[in-house]
Amino acid sequence: MAFEYIKALHIIFVVTWFAGLFYIVRLFIYQVEAMEKTVQERAILLPQLNLMAQRLWYIITWPSALLTLIFGFWVLYYRWGYMQMGFMQAKLGFVLVLYVYHMICHKIYKDLQNGKAKWTSTQLRMWNELSTLLLFSIVFLIVLKSLISVVWGIVGLLALSILMMLGIKWYKKVREKENQQ
């Protein structure tokens, strides 16, 4: 019975971690776009966006990432035999990439809090889609427990990635057109 509670907590913190990752990059986009506004608009927008990012990052996203890790190791303790299975090794590989993604987001967060925008809003929109791809990969691996199914899943993810990139480019054109009017 304890295992089910631990697994449930792991899943809850995975969900809150992803929610934080999805939204923090959205805030990064808004921060970068606010830096391109007039001085008066920047003076209003940036302090509020910086505060929102700080609260999200340190109150939700970081704690969720750490608790995901703790409960994830605890789940593995109960299911140690899974470590020999290819799907689990692949899943943990994607999880490692997700933690690298998190750390890069931390660097972007620190830069933006210091008023330095090293990424464009378009680059950040594309960056935001990587966490979606990681989520799909991890969930499909853990649910299907099959690398063959994951190969087809990755083909689907690549197709999804292409569609997302096309959507981002289309959205950029729409926004540019609106700004010209």
Exposure on the CB side of residue 57, measured as CA atoms within 13 A: 22
DSSP for 49-65 reads: HHHHHHHIIIIIIHHHH
C-alpha 33: how far from its chain's center?
A: 20
Q: b/e map of 89-125 (b: 16 or more CB within 10 Å)?
A: ebbbebbeebeebbeebeebbeebeeeebebebeebb
10 in a known ligand binding site: yes
> Cβ(56)–Cβ(23) under 8 Å?
yes
106 in a known ligand binding site: no
Measured torsion, CA atoms of residues 69, 51, 117, 20, in degrees rounded to the nearest 10: 30
Q: b/e map of 42-76 (b: 16 or more CB within 10 Å)?
A: eeebbeebbeebeebbeebbbebbebbeebbeebe
| R_g of the chain, CA atoms, integer Å | 19
Mark the binding-site residues for heme, compressed into ranges.
Answer: 10, 91
User: Binding site: which residues?
Assistant: 10, 91
